[in-house]
Amino acid sequence: MSAGTSDRRKYWIAGTITSSIALGAFAFVSFSPALGPVAGAIVPQLYVDSLPSAQIPVRGPYVLVDAASARLYMMMDGRVQDSMKVIVGKPETPTPVLKSVINYATVNPYWHVGADLTRTLIAPRVLKDGKAYLIQQGYEVVTEWGPGAQVISPDSVDWKAVAAGQTRVFIRQRPGPANSLGHFKFELPNGDGIYLHDTPKKELFSADMRALSHGCVRLEDAQRLARWLLGKDPPVASVPEDNVLLPRPVPIMISYLDPQSRMQLTSLQ
């Protein structure tokens, strides 16, 4: 073998090894999202994958609710862009761990009162104060929940039977300043009745302990979340239950992070 041939062979071997390493690295990055393909994103993506139960995607928008610290994080490409306080479920009605997706924001939502609250709260008040209580609070008795709901007279309801749990009645609260869901609601398709919503009781967010709800997640600034999800200011709705479709579905995870995971999440700011 000549010297020229030997040198060419050395260069060919070196080039092959270099190419193999590069291809291996590309494959490793492709199949190991923890590293990510963008320079400078290695450290945060490693932190993302180390968060137990968070399942933060390396690309796109993502909403993470840490029920343990009662805080919501708006994330983009594995980094925290914004966050806010939330109110989560009481110990007896805890907010469940779940994974879902947000498809739209509901502006001017009705509040559909759950069966338990109807039985334990509303029916006893109607028995005590009459239908004036319903009018004062903006409650309506309806035939069902949904677009086909028809308003019916409270006089047609056996409120003693409702309070005793012997019959079911559908109650909704009209949109307005006193509405328990405020101005915005964010449904979760497989949330089993759990969703995110605004609230008129902003004073509750000043408390350190914010496990106060019946399971749903109340938002410190629902309009800010709506703006982030939509990529623009939400419209001013003039009708009840105006569903505004997001540019694309946004995945959401509700989890209970441990202190170490919360410190790692802080590093993704």
Marked catalytic residue, from 112, 183, 214, 216: 216
- Does 214 participate in catalysis according to the annotation? no
Structure tokens at 49: 């994958």
225: closest CA among 74, 75, 81?
A: 74
Q: What's the Cα-to-Cα distance from 124 to each of 67, 153, 165, 256, rounded to whole Å? A: 32, 17, 11, 35
- Does 183 participate in catalysis according to the annotation? no
240: closest CA among 174, 179, 182, 180?
A: 174
Marked catalytic residue, from 112, 183, 197, 214: 197
Query: What is the C-alpha separation between 46 and 34, in angstroms, rounded?
Result: 5
- Residues recognised as catalytic: 197, 216
